[in-house]
């Protein structure tokens, strides 16, 4: 499988706008991708049991929210880095007038305390054992990049201040400093093998959070699924969807593989890459488990996923084969 690290950054910038997002954290595109990647793991390791596959899927879904929490928690350490720089400049041998009387707007911003002093947020970070303490070099580089940016200088010089202005600054920091930051990607890869693919999407949620704080809201843990929202317990669950999709793919994997082989006589299973096999199996599994979903929607979803995780030729292959396979079995 291609390791396309910018998948969710691309989705965030091009197709997933804030105004479109619901209050749940995982949308159907992401859930399909996570199910597909689990099925890909099974295609590569057929000794994986269904229970193990379900545990892996559950872990990867929760990993998206963990990444969001870790990234959002940078607000306190970054302000601490800025404060330490200001204090060091004040105490040097011959400080300038500007160093003696620095602009404290960022250090005293109103968004950071809403997170660093929120007991629920801090309790969760402690339980997850998330900390930026060992990444002091990254924090130093991050602050230097922020401080040298035009958007930061504009923020410091602007007459307007308060929650909305501070929230806007933090959104720009997340959007502009984290997306293509290789140093950050190395940190995330060391912490979890599931985090880099979700980076852009998690950053989007960080931006959404600080903007909601800027409107006077209070932080709360985003639910992963629609059924987790208050008052929605009886609604069809996205969790039921993604686990139903995985079970359908797992239990029918061999049968679906035989169907694929029957339509591709010149290509035995060993010659079809595991990525394309997993994509096609997932498409067939969704059509079988959720017949109410239009076939065109299912095909389009897996074609789009193939563009990020497989070869340039795969989208056409997946499109044509899924169309024939699903329609032949309806």
The structural domains of the chain, ordered by start, are: 49-220 (no CATH), 238-328 (1.10.940.10)
Q: What distance in Å separates the CA atoms of residue 209 and residue 234, rounded to the nearest whole number?
A: 26
Contact 90, 100 (CB under 8 A): yes
Instruction: Write out the H or E segment, with its range, that includes residue 255.
Output: helix 253-263
Measured distance CA(302)–CA(47) in Å, rounded = 25
Chain centroid to Cα 158, Å, comes to: 32
Dump the DSSP string for 106-152: TTT-SSHHHHHT-HHHHHHHHHHT---GGGHHHHHHHHHHHHHSHHH
174: closest CA among 267, 84, 111, 216?
Answer: 111
Provide the sign of the torsion angle of the four alpha carbons 229, 302, 35, 283, taken in this order.
Answer: positive
Tokens of 213: 């704080």
- Four-point Cα dihedral 181, 186, 188, 194, nearest 10: 110
The neighbour count for residue 126, using CB atoms within 10 Å, is 10
| Residues whose CB is less than 8 angstroms from the CB of residue 126 and which lie 6 or more positions away in sequence, other chains included | none
Q: Taking the model in full, what pTM does it have? A: 0.86
**CA–CA distance from 100 to each of 88, 89, 95, 108 (Å)?**
10, 8, 6, 16
Name residue, tokens 């499109």.
319
Structure tokens at 329: 């079995």
Tens-level pLDDT at each residue, the chain (330 residues): 544 334 333 343 333 333 334 556 788 999 999 999 999 999 999 999 999 999 999 999 999 999 999 999 999 999 999 999 999 988 888 888 887 888 999 999 999 999 999 999 999 999 999 999 999 999 999 999 999 999 999 999 998 889 999 999 999 999 999 989 999 999 999 999 999 889 988 999 999 999 999 999 999 999 888 666 555 554 568 899 999 999 999 999 999 999 998 888 766 555 578 999 999 999 999 999 999 999 999 999 999 999 999 888 889 999 999 999 998 766
Q: Who contacts 185 (Cβ-Cβ below 8 Å, separation ≥6)?
A: 5, 196, 199
Largest CA distance in the chain: 81
End-to-end CA distance of the chain: 30
8 A C-beta contact, residue 28 and residue 258: no
């Amino acid at each position: 499988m291609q390791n396309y690290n910018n998948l969710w950054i691309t989705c965030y910038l091009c197709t997933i706008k804030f105004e479109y997002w619901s209050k749940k954290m995982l949308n159907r595109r992401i859930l399909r991708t996570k199910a597909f990647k689990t099925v890909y793991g099974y295609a590569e390791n057929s000794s994986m049991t269904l229970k193990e596959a379900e545990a892996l899927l559950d872990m990867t879904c929760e990993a998206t929210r963990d990444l969001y929490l870790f990234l959002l928690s940078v607000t306190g350490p970054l302000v601490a880095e800025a404060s330490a720089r200001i204090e060091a400049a004040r105490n040097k041998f011959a400080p300038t007038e500007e160093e003696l009387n620095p602009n404290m707007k960022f250090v005293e911003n109103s968004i950071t305390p809403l997170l660093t002093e929120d007991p629920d947020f801090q309790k969760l970070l402690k339980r997850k054992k998330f900390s930026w303490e060992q990444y002091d070099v990254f924090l130093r580089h991050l602050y230097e990049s922020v401080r040298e940016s035009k958007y930061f200088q504009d923020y410091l010089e602007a007459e307007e201040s308060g929650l909305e202005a501070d929230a806007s600054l933090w959104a720009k920091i997340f959007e502009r400093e984290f997306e293509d930051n290789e140093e950050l990607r190395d940190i995330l890869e060391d912490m979890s093998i599931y985090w880099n693919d979700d980076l852009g999407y998690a950053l989007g949620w960080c931006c959404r959070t600080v903007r909601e704080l800027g409107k006077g809201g209070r932080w709360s843990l985003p639910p992963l699924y629609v059924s987790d929202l208050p008052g929605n317990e009886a609604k069809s669950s996205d969790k039921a969807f993604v686990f139903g999709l995985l079970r359908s793919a797992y239990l029918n994997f061999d049968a679906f593989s035989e169907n694929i082989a029957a339509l591709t006589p010149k290509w035995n299973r060993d010659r079809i890459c595991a990525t394309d096999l997993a994509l096609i199996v997932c498409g067939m599994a969704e059509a079988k488990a959720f017949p109410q979903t239009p076939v065109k929607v299912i095909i389009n979803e897996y074609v789009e996923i193939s563009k990020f995780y497989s070869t340039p030729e795969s989208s056409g292959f997946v499109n044509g084969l899924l169309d024939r396979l699903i329609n032949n079995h309806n």
